[in-house]
Amino acid sequence: MTGGAARAGAVALAGFTTFLSLYTPQPILPLIADSLGVAEAATGGTITAALVAVALVAPFAGAISDRVGRKRLIVGACLLLAVPTLLAAGAQSLEALLLWRFLQGLALPFIFTVTVAYVGDEAKGADGLRLAGIYGIGTILGGFGGRLVAGLAAEIAGWRAGFVAIGLFTLAAGVAVAVLLPAERRFQPQRGGLRGLLATWRAHLGNARLVATCFVGFLMLFSNVAVYTFVTLHLAAPPFALSPAAMALVFAVYLVGAATTVVATRLAIRFGRRATLGLAAGLAGAGLVLSLVPSLVAVVAGLAMLSGGLLVVQTLALGFLGVAVERGRSAAVGMYVTTYYVGGALGGLVPALAWQAAGWPGVAALVLPAIAVMGVLGWRFWGEPAGAATRR
């Protein structure tokens, strides 16, 4: 394997590992609720616990990485993540499961944040866009794979088997990243201690394009978590009444995002991120509206469109971080990741009120404006001449 191929494979695996663990509970929430004797709506906290931990740690993960380097943190976090994932399988109460999920979340920023910074350092211009696209595809496959493996394992041997399987996959992926990922070559450590870090954060908070990109990420993950947490409850109820294995297969719509990300990367290189974002947001919004039709085919098709759009937005935002900032890139990624996962945490909580009040239509009515605002922010702050992405 060539150095470039090894790097691309390792970056994809890092993205895969992050999202493999993050959404593991979604297809098995009804089983967890039944096993632990809690309300179904309360199990949404298993998603929120990990997201809150990520949001708390991400700025510090970025700051640490800007000083000590990239690869050692990525590899160490991948391997460490397997521990609470395996321990979650033995949880005897919802509180214990929330604790293990929170500990999983503490490790995730050292993969997500640092890998995005690694891409920004090591790959520039069109090469950077392509590598960001590869990372995005890895996250998509991980998001799908985590749900699929958990759902299928739960169908065979209960929800605990899902966490065991994910933990073993995580361990194997960590070893592969250690072998494949080249050490950083362009990394320049940041100096200045706490004063330097605060100065970097002040500069980032004054960067309108970076702040707007952070809010794009916030709204993207809010929408994604809201949809896939509560559509699980929607599809588990009559008239659909899907089993955990069938639910896991529904998450195959995530793979549409892999295809749209490849196409969108080419469009962004040729026409710019802003136009591509507009198309992606429009696709996501149309898919959400289609999911309101009371037909399993329509719901699945709508979810496919929504995934295809939202996951393109994620890749575009990650790639734009390297354009929006020149120094303190990992700290900028940490800032992005914090707002991104705060959005995800709220996506697991806020729509519960809409769900209780109006079911799936209520959740959709909440998410649709978020998608629209996401598109407006990107259009306003991501302006660049057509083809500029190839020159950066």
Using alpha carbons, list the distances in angstroms from residue 152 to 20, 94, 160, 245: 14, 22, 11, 5
DSSP for 200-216, please give it: HHHHHHT-HHHHHHHHH
The domain 3-180+192-390: what is its CATH number?
1.20.1250.20
Give the DSSP per-residue string, 150-177.
Answer: HHHHHHHH-HHHHHHHHHHHHHHHHHHH
How do the domains of the chain map onto residue ranges? Answer: 3-180+192-390
Select the more confidently predicted residue: 290 or 263. Answer: 290
Mean pLDDT on 255-282: 80
pTM of the predicted protein model: 0.72
Burial of 262 (0-12, 13-18, 19+ CB in 10 A): middle
Question: Which pLDDT score is estimated for 213?
Answer: 92
Task: Grade residue 120 by pLDDT with cuts at 50, 70 and 90.
Answer: confident
Q: Is 125's pLDDT higher than 70?
A: no
Torsion-angle region of residue 219: left (phi > 0), alpha (psi -120 to 50) or beta?
alpha
Which is more confidently placed, 384 or 308?
Answer: 308
Mean pLDDT across the stretch 140-162?
87
What are the structure tokens assigned to 64, written together? 């640490």
- Compute the mean pLDDT over every residue in the chain, rounded to the nearest whole number: 84
pLDDT > 90? residue 288: yes
Which of 146, 208, 191 has its CA nearest to residue 173?
Answer: 146
Q: Are 245 and 301 in contact (CB under 8 A)?
A: no
**Residue 385's pLDDT band (cuts 50, 70, 90):** very low
Contact yes or no for 285/309 (Cβ under 8 A): yes
User: So what's the pLDDT on residue 80?
Assistant: 94
* Res 392: pLDDT: 38
CA distance 273 to 278: 9
Looking up tokens 């960067």 gives 207
Residue 25 has pLDDT above 90, yes or no: no
pLDDT of residue 189: 66
365, pLDDT greater than 90: yes
Task: Output DSSP code: residue 191.
Answer: -
Segment 183-209 shows an average pLDDT of: 75
